[in-house]
């Protein structure tokens, strides 16, 4: 990618071929470099409002994970494989004025923490949007798994009718397996946090699972808040912000999230 793209305002697309997949990415804006790592079932197109608001302040790289949006499908859908997608985009994005800040949503936050822990000095900071949470209990319990499988089976049917930019090709079982894997990642994620020496900001939803009067929902929300509490006790320097929303906060509250981000130690206000 040409180095002059760092100063361009409009996003310019580029692709990254690695690991048998083609990753669709874009870079645009000006200022401090940020890389926005999407979560499971989220694409660049889904995050367009958040990304557009960020580009008014920063030099932003966005991309689609394998099997998402305009990136190609793959045989391997695992946290490690998605982490390789992030690393490949970082390597291909072109020269940056400084080390980038990694901004991750949901599973993308877990990928950002993983990358920062494994590549000391490669990033300037982390902004974690409702993810990378060291929850004390797994999210996917047996009763919840049945509910999630039904919801994601319905989602997979709807995905078939979406345009490519918004489409996710993973099956309900692949998504469920990934969520179980993410539970395992979060069970030991505090060790990764201990290896990170850059500013960490968290922007978390107050009601991750929503506000329905349901025992499963109440358990999930309590578990989510307890995980945040564990992290803050372990790393009291974490810059924590709450948003009155569910896990879809990046779609329902993009302006509020950008406002918070621009005031975090990792990002700061760039105008």
Q: Cα angle vertex 90, ends 88, 96, to 5°?
A: 150
Q: What is the DSSP letter of 220?
A: H
Strands (E), 3-160: 12-18, 21-29, 33-37, 59-63, 101-105, 125-129
- For 194-230, b where at least 16 C-beta lie within 10 A, e where not — what string? eebebbbbbbbbebbbeeeeeeebebbbebbbebbee
In a domain, 254, yes or no: yes
Quote the pTM value: 0.93
On average, the pLDDT of the chain sits at: 93
In a domain, 156, yes or no: no
Q: What is the SS3 assignment for 215?
A: helix
Q: Which helix (H) or strand (E) holds 202?
A: strand 200-205
**Residue 51's CATH number:** 3.40.50.1820
- Check residues 167 and 2 and name the one with the higher pLDDT: 167
In a domain, 44, yes or no: yes
- Residue 19 is predicted with a pLDDT of 97
Whether the CB-CB separation of 218 and 129 falls below 8 Å is answered with no
Q: Residue 252: give the domain boundaries.
A: 3-136+187-262
In a domain, 10, yes or no: yes
In a domain, 178, yes or no: no
Q: Could you report the per-residue pLDDT of 199-231, keeping only the tens digit for each?
A: 999 999 999 999 988 888 999 999 999 999 999
In a domain, 270, yes or no: no
- For 61-83, b where at least 16 C-beta lie within 10 A, e where not — what string? bbbbbbbbbbbbebeebebebbb
Range name among 114-128, 139-153, 227-241, 253-267 with the lowest pLDDT average: 139-153
Q: Could you report the per-residue pLDDT of 67-93, keeping only the tens digit for each?
A: 999 999 999 999 999 999 999 999 999
In a domain, 132, yes or no: yes
- Residue 40 is predicted with a pLDDT of 95
> What's the domain count of the chain?
1
In a domain, 72, yes or no: yes
């Amino acid at each position: 990618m040409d180095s002059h793209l760092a100063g361009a305002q409009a996003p310019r697309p580029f692709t990254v071929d690695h690991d048998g997949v083609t990753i669709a990415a874009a870079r645009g804006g000006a200022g401090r470099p940020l890389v926005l790592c999407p979560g499971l079932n989220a694409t660049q197109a889904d995050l367009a409002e958040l990304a557009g608001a960020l580009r008014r302040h920063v030099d932003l790289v966005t991309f689609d994970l394998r099997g998402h949006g305009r990136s190609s499908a793959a045989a391997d859908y695992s946290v490690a494989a998605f982490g390789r997608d992030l690393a490949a985009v970082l390597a291909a994005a072109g020269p940056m004025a400084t080390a980038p800040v990694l901004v991750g949503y949901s599973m993308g936050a877990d990928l950002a923490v993983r990358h920062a822990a494994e590549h000391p000095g490669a990033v300037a900071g982390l902004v974690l949007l409702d993810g990378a949470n060291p929850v004390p209990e797994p999210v996917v319990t047996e009763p919840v798994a049945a509910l999630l499988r039904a919801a994601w089976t319905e989602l997979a049917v709807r995905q078939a009718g979406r345009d490519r930019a918004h489409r996710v090709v993973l099956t309900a079982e692949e998504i469920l397996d990934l969520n179980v894997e993410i539970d395992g990642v979060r069970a030991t994620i505090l060790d990764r946090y201990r290896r990170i020496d850059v500013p960490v900001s968290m922007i978390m939803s107050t009601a991750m699972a929503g506000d329905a009067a349901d025992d499963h929902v109440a358990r999930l929300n309590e578990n989510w808040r307890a995980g945040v509490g564990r992290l803050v006790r372990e790393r009291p320097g974490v810059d924590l912000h709450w948003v009155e929303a569910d896990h879809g906060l990046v779609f329902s509250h993009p302006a509020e999230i950008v406002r918070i981000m621009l005031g975090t130690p990792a990002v700061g206000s760039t105008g």
